[in-house]
Structure 1
Amino acid sequence: MDDAVYWYAMAAVLLFFKMLAIAAYQGYHRIGKMTFKAPEDAAFVGKQAAQEELPQVKRAAWAWSNDVENIPIFLGLGVAYVWVGAAPGLAAWLFMIFTAARYMHTICYLAALQPWRTVGYAIGVLCMLAMCVLILAGLSP
C-alpha cells in the first residue's frame, strides 16, 4: 500500500473517532445531568426541556462546528494530495500533524485553554496550506 494512502486513511479514521468522542462527551453531560434542550429528549426521560444547553455541551458544539469547517477541507485536500502523488514522504507528517492539531484544538476548546486552542487551529491550517503548495507542485509538468 502506498504510504500516503495509508497515512490518509489513518488520519481519516482518527478524525472520525475524535468527532465521535465529541458527540459522546455531549451525551455524557446531557445524560449525567438529565438536562435536555430538545423537548422530545426531555420528555423521553420525564423532564421539562431546558431553556439553554449545558456549558459543556455548548463548548463541544463549538468544537464540532469548527471541525465541520476544517476536516472536510482536509479530507478533500488529502485526496488531491494522494491523487497527484504530492511529496509522499511528507504525507505522514502533514496528515498526522493536522490530526494531532485537531485533537489539540478540541481538547483546548473543551477546557477553555487559550492561546493553545488557537495554536492547535493554526497548526492545522498551516498543514493544509503546505498540502496546497505540494499539490500544486505535483501538478506542475
Structure 2
Amino acid sequence: MATAIHWYSLCAVTLFLKMFALSAYQGFHRLSRRTFVNPEDAEVFNKPPASAELPQVQRAAKAWLNDLENIPIFLGLGTAYVLTGASPEAATWLFSTFTIARILHTLMYLLGLQPWRTIAYAVGIFCLLGMSLNIGLVLYRLS
C-alpha cells in the first residue's frame, strides 16, 4: 500500500502537468491563429496586436486563475497532512479525488459545461475539507 507522501507527490506532479497543459492550450490557440495581445509577441509574426484575447485563451485563463485559488491550498494542506501523519488510507482517496476533480473542472471550464464544472469544483472543495478534518483530528489527539 502506498503512503500518503506517495499519493501527495503523484498528485502534485499531475496537477503541475495539468496546469502546464492548460498553458500549452493557450499557446496553441494563439499560435495557430497568430493572434497576440502583447505587442512584442505580435511583432514576431509581423502582425498588429489584437484588441482582445481569443475566447479559448480567455476561458483557459479563467480556469488557470481558478487553479491558482485551489491548488496552492491543496499543496499546503497536503504538506500538513503528510507531516502530521494523518490517515494514509484517506489520503489515497482525498488526494486522488481532488486531482481528478481539478482535471474535470478544467475540462468542463474549457467546454463551457454547467452544472458539471460546479460539481467538479465542489468535489475538490469537499476533498480539501476532508483533508482539513483529518489534520484537525490528528492535532486534537496530540493535544
Distance 1:89 1:34 in 2: 48
Task: Give how far 1:114 is off.
Answer: 0.3
- For residue 100 of structure 2, what is the aligned residue in structure 1? 100
Whole-Å Cα distance in 2 between the matches of residues 79 and 14 of structure 1? Answer: 16
Which residue matches 1:81? 81
Give the Cα–Cα distance (whole angstroms) in 2 for the partners of residues 89 and 113 of structure 1. 32
- 1:35-74 equivalences under 5 Å are 35-74=35-74
For 1:62 and 1:79, the matched residues in 2 are separated by 26
User: Deviation at 1:2?
Assistant: 6.2
Q: Which runs of 5+ in 1 are unaligned?
A: none
**Deviations 1:33-82 (Å, cap 9, x if unpaired)?**
00000010000111000000000000000000000010000000000000
Root-mean-square deviation (Å):
1.0
Map of 1:21 onto structure 2: 21
- Structure 2 CA distance, aligned partners of 1:7 and 1:116? 25
CA displacement, residues 90-135 of structure 1 (integer Å, 9 cap, x when unaligned): 1111000000000000000000000000001000000000100100
Aligned counterparts of 2:15 and 2:67: Cα–Cα separation in 1 = 9
Task: Tell me the amino acid that sits aligned with residue 111 of structure 2.
Answer: A
**Aligned equivalent of 1:10:** 10
Offset of residue 89 of structure 1 = 1.0
How many residue pairs align between the two structures? 141
Which residue of 2 is the match for residue 128 of structure 1?
128
1:110 and 2:110 aligned: yes
TM-score (structure 1 length as normaliser)? 0.98
Q: State how far apart, in whole Å, the 2-side matches of 1:67 and 1:92 are.
A: 21
Q: What percentage of aligned pairs have identical amino acids?
A: 56
- TM-score where L is the length of structure 2: 0.97
The alpha carbon displacement at 1:88 in A equals 1.1
Which residue type is aligned with residue 94 of structure 1? Answer: L
- The residue matched to 2:28 in structure 1 has which SS? helix
